Structure 1
Amino acid sequence: MWLVNANVVDVLTGEKLLDRAVQVGEDGRIVEVASAPPVLAKDADVVDVAGRWLLPGLISCHTHLSVVFPFSDTDEQEDPAITAYRSATRAHQALQAGITTIRCVHEQNQADLSLRRAAARGWISAPRIRGAGRAVSTVGGHGEGAAAVYATGEEEFYRAAAAEITDGADHVKIFITGGLAKKGENYDTLEMADGEIRGVVRAAHEHDKYVVAHSGDAVAIRQALAQGVTSFEHAYRLDEETARMLVGPNIFVTPTLCVTRSESWMRANHFEEHSIQQALAAADDHLLSIQRAIRAGVTLVNGTDYPPGDLVDGVPAAVHEMLLMADAGLTPLQALQSISSQAARLLRIDDHVGQIRPGFVGDLIAVDGDPLADLDALRNISLVVQGGRAVRGAA
């Protein structure tokens, strides 16, 4: 496949490569980014980008495909086939929206691992999936009622984490604080002991994996950092000292600002009123926390906590989140990196995903305007290519 008459954004440097032609080989990898118009065979597969701007396919780092709204409707005994059907629909919607890679951080019945196998066989159309299988929660903790795995004590957490990894998980998800979903729940409530966190980290490290922590408060984040956790979700309340502690080459924060800034979407999806009000009440602290993280230089990646292809105020949730992160203080280039190259680094696939350059997979999206000048260009993604295959908009 050749994509011609394209303006290419280098998301590492911010360089704008004008009037380029991008070749993707039969193996789905980019062969070259040519500066001169190529001489093409008559039967060549050619997509005329017509002066639009090419970016790497989007990467969402906090995805739930199997989630049910309102959360209280979750049936922990649900038939795995029903879970898979619901999850496959969300996965297809995400891909159509330009999200070519996702990191799932808890799916009922390990639906993410099942979908990944189905996609590998060509049975479904889905983003590239990095999966956690089921999250591991304390009994009565934030994961209670979500069809998570429940454990108590260091050895139980170790065994539960190891079991998910054995089943194919790329990372392990835990809940170190409460959250915003349940009535009366507090996101500053600590839910795991040091030994329990340590048990999960031990299991992950034995298999060259890492731990993802639902984390609402700075105290719990410092606790988990001390035990070796490197990936933190939400950070609703983050002080400056803790933000500085999160600065490091292999530490990542997924802000999920849209969790506290999507009232219209929550109402449209029948969230319970207490969940909506608790999210709105946390919004100011949440924004201030992420602004502190930005000033400190924390590496931020894009994630939604919602199905990332769902429309929030008319745009895919992943794009909505990117715009919120820019409003919080990221530059346009940093915002694009959060959903491409930095996200790929967190997922440990940055050697072949998240950039437009030879050797990388041909995951591409096209927008009409220069996104480095105006991120609103991503509100209208008109072309989606995954692995050199046109998913949408090539005609």
Structure 2
Amino acid sequence: MSGAVPSLPTRGDAVLANLRLIDGITPDEQEGLAIVVRDGRIAEIVPQADAGPDATDLGGAYVMPGLINMHTHFSLSLPGPGGDAVSALEPHELALHMADGARRTLLSGVTTVRCVAEKGGADFALRRAIEAGHVPGPRIFTAGRALCCTGGHGHDADDTVECDGADAFARGVRSQVKAGADLIKLMISGGIAGEHEQITTPQLTRDEMAAAISTAHAWGRKVTAHAGPAAIIAEAIELGLDCVEHGYELTPEVAAVMAARGVALVPTLVVTRAGAFFDDLGVPPWMQERSLGAGPRHLASYRYALEAGVDVLLGSDMPPFWDFEGTSAVVRELEHMQAGGLAASGVVHAATAAPARWLDADDRVGVLAPGRFADLIAMPADPSADIAALRGIDLVMKGGVVVRDDAGRTGARR
């Protein structure tokens, strides 16, 4: 071998034809078109007749934007032996563990993630490595380490920073911005994974929330919050919160306020329906009971949000690629969103264009239109008719580079 050994390609060229386009903008599928990709971005969408003789024939597949998972933890460590094994990893081992998770996430059809609490700053190194083409993975927007109170939700892992008092929370925000965070995450209540708390336990004072949110906004960062009870969510919304994670116990009244203020919800429905996943990790009975027991109320909260017109966004919390109930965890989450009352076309929107808009990145990702990155997935069936079609994802492209092609239509293989 002679010459330099190249990094993984991060931008490619392609012409994709014979497809049914779900672009994330137009509600209905479009036929008779071809997608022209140059240097990683969609250059133009042209009539099929103009595709040229070298176009790749996708055989009538449905093509849509790559999924955007807004609640991802590459360093997740829940209570139990499985999580303990992750917590015990040395920094170098943790980086490799997270890189493998990023690779598997991309192959599952998730081309962009929002990380909402990762250990030790490894997410920033992982993002740089992916961008440089050293390792494969999705585009990463990250909150860095989440902020909690002393003993608060997630305090026992290195993916949080314990803060007490308004000044400490302001410093906590600045510390994550300094590290490179794109957004800030607050732990404002208890949850299902804290042994010495309840979902309904309020954990931050009004002054602490106000200091964190105002500081983040001053630095141009949105704020999302791990949150369960309606009362604490309502208070945080009044102070300017931008997004709610989980929302286990919303009320119609609080959902209406969320809709009026433009506060999004990432429902993570799968986490209260994840018994088999918990069994895989050896999660203790107290957490399983709390999680699965919260399921009916969690679903009711989600339906309140839909009825109020809240913008709901895809987020699995579980590793997106996890083999779960016959598909991946991210597809299972989307199926729960549809079963809970959101039409399949709305679920597609919640997994693509809506998250991109929240991230202020809809000029780059989330839709298939000229100027955007060529991040897309393809499958034989129509996901806008039934989101279960995503169980058949057989092609994944990121930045014009095919990273998975089960059918071999582009000459690449998974």
- Identify whether the pair has TM-score above 0.5, normalized to the shorter chain: yes
Q: Which position in structure 2 is the counterpart of 1:73?
A: 84
Secondary structure of 1:51's match? strand
1:215 pairs with one of 205, 213, 227: 227
The CA distance in 2 between the partners of 1:242 and 1:24, in whole Å, is 44
The equivalences for 1:1-395 within 5 A come to 1-26=14-39, 28-38=40-50, 40=52, 44=54, 46-70=55-79, 73=84, 79-147=90-158, 148-183=160-195, 185-248=197-260, 250-393=262-405, 394-395=410-411
Q: Is the 8 A contact 1:188 1:217 kept in 2?
A: yes
Secondary structure of 2:194's match? coil
The CA distance in 1 between the partners of 2:266 and 2:96, in whole Å, is 27
Distance change in 2, residues 1:76/1:383 (3 Å): closer
The CA distance in 2 between the partners of 1:249 and 1:227, in whole Å, is 11
Shift of 1:119: 1.1
Q: Is the 8 A contact 1:14 1:333 kept in 2?
A: yes
Shift of 1:69: 4.1
The CA distance in 2 between the partners of 1:75 and 1:370, in whole Å, is 38
The CA distance in 1 between the partners of 2:79 and 2:88, in whole Å, is 17
Shift of 1:273: 1.7
The CA distance in 2 between the partners of 1:320 and 1:249, in whole Å, is 29
The CA distance in 2 between the partners of 1:222 and 1:361, in whole Å, is 37
Q: Is the 8 A contact 1:83 1:109 kept in 2?
A: no
The CA distance in 2 between the partners of 1:127 and 1:39, in whole Å, is 28
Q: Is the 8 A contact 2:72 2:318 kept in 1?
A: yes
Secondary structure of 1:37's match? helix
Shift of 1:76: 6.3
Q: Is the 8 A contact 1:11 1:333 kept in 2?
A: no
TM-score (norm 2): 0.91
Shift of 1:85: 1.1
Shift of 1:184: 5.2
The CA distance in 1 between the partners of 2:36 and 2:222, in whole Å, is 34
Distance change in 2, residues 1:78/1:199 (3 Å): farther
Q: Is the 8 A contact 2:111 2:398 kept in 1?
A: yes
Moved more, 301-310 or 97-106: 301-310
Alignment: residue pair count: 391
Structure 1 runs of 4+ with >6 Å offset:
74-77
Distance change in 2, residues 1:117/1:39 (3 Å): closer
Where structure 1 has 5 or more consecutive residues not aligned to the other structure, the ranges are none
The CA distance in 1 between the partners of 2:376 and 2:261, in whole Å, is 26
Q: Is the 8 A contact 2:154 2:194 kept in 1?
A: no
Where structure 2 has 5 or more consecutive residues not aligned to the other structure, the ranges are 1-13
The CA distance in 2 between the partners of 1:86 and 1:77, in whole Å, is 12
The CA distance in 2 between the partners of 1:351 and 1:375, in whole Å, is 25
Secondary structure of 2:102's match? helix
RMSD: 1.6
TM-score (norm 1): 0.95
Q: Is the 8 A contact 2:374 2:399 kept in 1?
A: yes
Paired AA for residue 67 in structure 1: L
Shift of 1:36: 2.7
Shift of 1:189: 0.8
Secondary structure of 2:68's match? strand
